[in-house]
Chain A
Amino acid sequence: MGVRGLIDMKVTIDGQEIDVEPGTTILQAARKIGGESVPPAMCYYSKLKGSGGKCRCCLVEVSKGSEADPRPMPKLVASCVTGCMDGMEVKSISSERVLDARKSVTEFLLINHPLDCPVCDQAGECDLQNLSFKHGAAKTRFIEEKRTFEPENIGPNIQLHMNRCIVCYRCVMTADQLTDNRVHGVLNRGDHSQISTAISKAIDNEFSGNMIDVCPVGALTDKTFRFKQRVWFNKPYNAHRNCDKCCGKTTLWMFGNEIQRVTARKDEYHEVEEFICNECRFDHKDTADWVIEGPRKFEKDSVINQNNYTRHIKPVVIETEHNILLGRDKDRKKISMTGVPMKPEEQKVLKEGNV
């Protein structure tokens, strides 16, 4: 009978079988298999209790409920909150319905999103970018004005950009589960739901910085890193320091010898391995504070690898550079000329008009 334990359950996702323990969700089982069948997750975060089920990106089709009850489930189910059953058969990318639903959800998430990736600090490590790259349409069908929010200052370390928010509740759960006093939450309802402190209070807590790491989009970003660098121009290094508040294990985002940003270490699903404290994150931007372990690897197709350590970067030679610079010098001289050489009649027209 093989090595299957008695309590294990067999689940088939896109034709790939896997044995999982009872209590495993479909998404977790899919992540065990890995590859293309893993549904995207915008709101589920394995380290946060009670997360998931909200963004509807991870909808899958259950074509066979279980060995005991083989009826298929009529609706698509959110794989992050649906438990596996023995003998369950799930279709993720092999189902047209699922792909259609993912496309729809992507479209819904993008209609009110400002699409300001060129100026967004999250660009390059944004879950919504990844999602729309895979499932988004090239053209929008939304011609109305996008909904916007008043900017709100939530303190010196964290930048809240509400227009980009997809209301995944991850930051609310982080504050609930990591910190003692949650001072922010979701206000209002419908498409006007917003993350806010209600009375414009700074979020001031030793672990509040983790809200930045859990945010799947650029709604919560690091103020100390704001507009400093595109993430793919940074070189990420694993580093640690002795910290009495947290594990002290971080990723440093370097530009030359400068530490531009400190984050927790994130795995391939962009979930942090361990949460870190604000002191590590915001206050230690000196290389002397850290023990650098070595470069941090990212999944193959991540844009962060553009500046990776292994590729040999050749110096770029522009053949025409010399002449371009020469021409630019000439132009510069022309512009800084004190008098414009005009013909006398032109000068007269300029002064008196041509009437």
Chain B
Amino acid sequence: MARKILLEHANVPGIKTYEVYRQHGGYRSVEKALKSMTPDEVVEEVKTSGLRGRGGAGFPTGMKWSFIDKKSGKPRHLVCNADESEPGTFKDRFLMEYIPHLLIEGMITSSYALGCNLSYIYIRGEYMWVFRILETAIKEAYAAGWLGKNIMGTGWDLDLHVHCGAGAYICGEETALIESLEGKRGNPRIKPPFPAVSGLWANPTVVNNVESIAVVPWIVNNTGAEYAKIGIGRSTGTKLISASGHCKNPGVYEIELGLSVDEFMNSDEYLGGMMDDRPLKALIPGGSSVPILPANLIFKNAEGGDRLMSYESLSEGGFATGSMLGSGGFIVYNDTTCVVRNTWNFSRFYHHESCGQCSPCREGTGWMEKVLHRIENGHGREEDIELLWDIQRKIEGNTICPLGDAAAWPVAAAIRHFRDEFEYHVRFPEKIKNRDHFVNEPFEKVKHLVAKQAVI
């Protein structure tokens, strides 16, 4: 059995309630931090742990914390980003729904480390029932004296609020989240200034993912050095992976980073292989915005080494032959999947969710969606593939926030690895018109048609 840090007590009955959580060692980290550690020591522990942001970018959390402007004397804020909207990712929902007090304990300890007196959890509007669970848990924490004025007699005050979003993916971008929290339209801000200097209400702010905050209590209890022992290389600790798609056991798993993809995919402890006898065709390892991997690059990297579940290993080979760990949205596809349709679906999502502030993303995402829709429905032209490539290239890197990149990468990867499938759609519109292509006739069997065409 692999080591469990976040989901250690997930199956204890009644862990949602304060009493049971407390009996299982809950809020020990708050006691330890407030009684025996200075805020800077807590930051130092998190730095030592090597914990990297679990929201997708993988930026070291301790370093992010050390950037916060403490000199200005302005009030500081910690905001927890629970606006988990990436297609394929549902790990934070599980964590908040089943062990809400873990997040609240993490928020208290982290707020102490950063010297915040007012902290927020920004949760997406679609998680209304989770919002209520968190509200209840916060009330319990207030009643038990973990929140409010003069916590544990130390003279330190902390107020914690849950704020509900209104259903916008873009509000998961940290500056858009801050704008939304301030009551404005959720448009990402132009950086600099970074939130660590001027964030929520122009005060220094740290925005962290749910999972990053929830792991802080364990680090405080067991020291950062202990945490750094888990994992591999610079990918320390454990990570929640939310697996979906055509695998046998989809769900949320906690893995030690460094586990091989092969083991995660095929061992009975985790996904248990494919759902039926149709073979694996492609994999998206980290949520919809990271590049898709074709079957030959999933278990082995381009050099033939084992592919591991870690930040570094998954991105080996760059975007040419690698992908990213991202937020851990592990999507498995078997050979009934149409990659073009899947890409169109993602593109439609990004088109729908672009905030419309900067031109490349506003216009480009819509354009890509329209072109992909045409190809998928049999109205594609040969030059559309080049056109798509060009559009994604022109969006990537030219936008204010990473949504533009997130919209461009899946399209780029799909064309890079599955170009023949696009060609098949363009050249044989008759074969795809019933929308059941590849279900009865896997692409492997019709691949030769495209190859033949290419020779002529």
Binding site for B on A (CB under 8 A): 52-57, 59, 75-76, 78, 81, 101, 104-105, 107-109, 111-112, 141-142, 144, 147, 166-167, 169, 185-186, 188-193
Q: Apart from A111-B367, A169-B357, what 12 extra A-B contacts exist at CB < 8 Å?
A: A54-B359, A78-B190, A105-B359, A108-B364, A144-B367, A144-B374, A189-B354, A190-B366, A191-B351, A191-B362, A191-B366, A192-B356
The 9 sampled A-B contact pairs (Cβ below 8 Å) are A53-B358, A55-B359, A56-B398, A56-B400, A104-B360, A104-B394, A108-B359, A111-B363, A190-B366
> From residue 243 to 288 of chain B, which have CB atoms closer than 8 A to chain A?
none
* Interface pair B354/A109, CB less than 8 Å apart: no
- When each residue 352-382 of chain B gets 1 if its CB lies under 8 Å from chain A and 0 otherwise, what string results? 1111111110111111001100100000000
* Interface pair A189/B398, CB less than 8 Å apart: no
Q: Which residue of chain A lies nearest to B186 when distances are taken between CB atoms in the complex?
A: A189
- When each residue 130-168 of chain B gets 1 if its CB lies under 8 Å from chain A and 0 otherwise, what string results? 000000000000000000000000000000000000001
Using A76-B398, A189-B170 as known contacts, say yes or no to A108 and B363 having CB atoms under 8 A apart: yes
Using A108-B364, A142-B367, A186-B185 as known contacts, say yes or no to A55 and B398 having CB atoms under 8 A apart: no
* Interface pair A193/B360, CB less than 8 Å apart: no
Q: How far is the CB of A84 from chain B (nearest CB, A)?
A: 13
* Interface pair A167/B356, CB less than 8 Å apart: yes
Using A56-B359, A56-B398, A59-B398 as known contacts, say yes or no to A190 and B190 having CB atoms under 8 A apart: no
Complex CA–CA separation, A50 to B180 (angstroms): 17
* Interface pair B358/A189, CB less than 8 Å apart: no
Q: Which residue of chain B lies nearest to A106 when distances are taken between CB atoms in the complex?
A: B359
Contacts of A53 in B (CB 8 A): 190, 358, 400
Complex CA–CA separation, A76 to B397 (angstroms): 8
* Interface pair B353/A190, CB less than 8 Å apart: yes
Cβ of B387 under 8 Å from chain A? yes
Cβ of B399 under 8 Å from chain A? yes
* Interface pair B359/A166, CB less than 8 Å apart: yes
Closest 7 CB pairs of A and B: A193-B356, A104-B394, A108-B363, A53-B190, A190-B354, A191-B366, A144-B370
Q: Which residue of chain A lies nearest to B370 when distances are taken between CB atoms in the complex?
A: A144
Binding site for A on B (CB under 8 A): 168, 170, 185, 190, 351-360, 362-367, 370-371, 374, 387, 394, 397-400
Q: How far is the CB of B376 from chain A (nearest CB, A)?
A: 14
* Interface pair A108/B394, CB less than 8 Å apart: yes
Q: How far is the CB of A109 from chain B (nearest CB, A)?
A: 5
Q: How far is the CB of B361 from chain A (nearest CB, A)?
A: 8
Contacts of A59 in B (CB 8 A): 398
Q: How far is the CB of B358 from chain A (nearest CB, A)?
A: 5
Using A111-B367, A191-B351, A191-B365 as known contacts, say yes or no to A81 and B190 having CB atoms under 8 A apart: yes
Contacts of A104 in B (CB 8 A): 360, 394, 398
Contacts of A188 in B (CB 8 A): 356
Residue from B168, B360, B387 whose CB has the most chain A CB atoms within 10 Å: B360
* Interface pair B397/A75, CB less than 8 Å apart: yes
Complex CA–CA separation, A73 to B190 (angstroms): 16
Complex CA–CA separation, A55 to B185 (angstroms): 18
* Interface pair A54/B357, CB less than 8 Å apart: yes
Q: How far is the CB of A167 from chain B (nearest CB, A)?
A: 6
* Interface pair B359/A190, CB less than 8 Å apart: no
Q: How far is the CB of B260 from chain A (nearest CB, A)?
A: 32
Q: Which residue of chain B lies nearest to A57 when distances are taken between CB atoms in the complex?
A: B359
Contacts of B357 in A (CB 8 A): 54, 167, 169, 193
Q: How far is the CB of A321 from chain B (nearest CB, A)?
A: 49
- A112 touches which one: B168, B190, B363, B394 (CB < 8 A)? B363
Complex CA–CA separation, A185 to B187 (angstroms): 13
Q: Which residue of chain A lies nearest to B351 when distances are taken between CB atoms in the complex?
A: A190
Q: How far is the CB of B105 from chain A (nearest CB, A)?
A: 35
Complex CA–CA separation, A111 to B366 (angstroms): 10
Using A76-B398, A78-B190 as known contacts, say yes or no to A190 and B185 having CB atoms under 8 A apart: no
* Interface pair A191/B363, CB less than 8 Å apart: yes
Contacts of A76 in B (CB 8 A): 397-398
Contacts of A189 in B (CB 8 A): 168, 170, 353-356
- B360 touches which one: A108, A166, A167, A186 (CB < 8 A)? A108
Contacts of B358 in A (CB 8 A): 53-56
Contacts of B353 in A (CB 8 A): 189-190
* Interface pair A56/B362, CB less than 8 Å apart: no
- B399 touches which one: A56, A141, A167 (CB < 8 A)? A56
Q: Which residue of chain A lies nearest to B366 when distances are taken between CB atoms in the complex?
A: A191
* Interface pair A190/B356, CB less than 8 Å apart: yes
Q: How far is the CB of B124 from chain A (nearest CB, A)?
A: 15
Complex CA–CA separation, A175 to B397 (angstroms): 31
Contacts of B387 in A (CB 8 A): 141
Contacts of A142 in B (CB 8 A): 367
Complex CA–CA separation, A142 to B394 (angstroms): 15
Q: Which residue of chain A lies nearest to B361 when distances are taken between CB atoms in the complex?
A: A190
Q: How far is the CB of B140 from chain A (nearest CB, A)?
A: 37
Contacts of B370 in A (CB 8 A): 144
* Interface pair A190/B367, CB less than 8 Å apart: no
Contacts of A111 in B (CB 8 A): 363, 367
Q: Which residue of chain B lies nearest to A107 when distances are taken between CB atoms in the complex?
A: B394
Complex CA–CA separation, A188 to B394 (angstroms): 24
Q: How far is the CB of B350 from chain A (nearest CB, A)?
A: 9
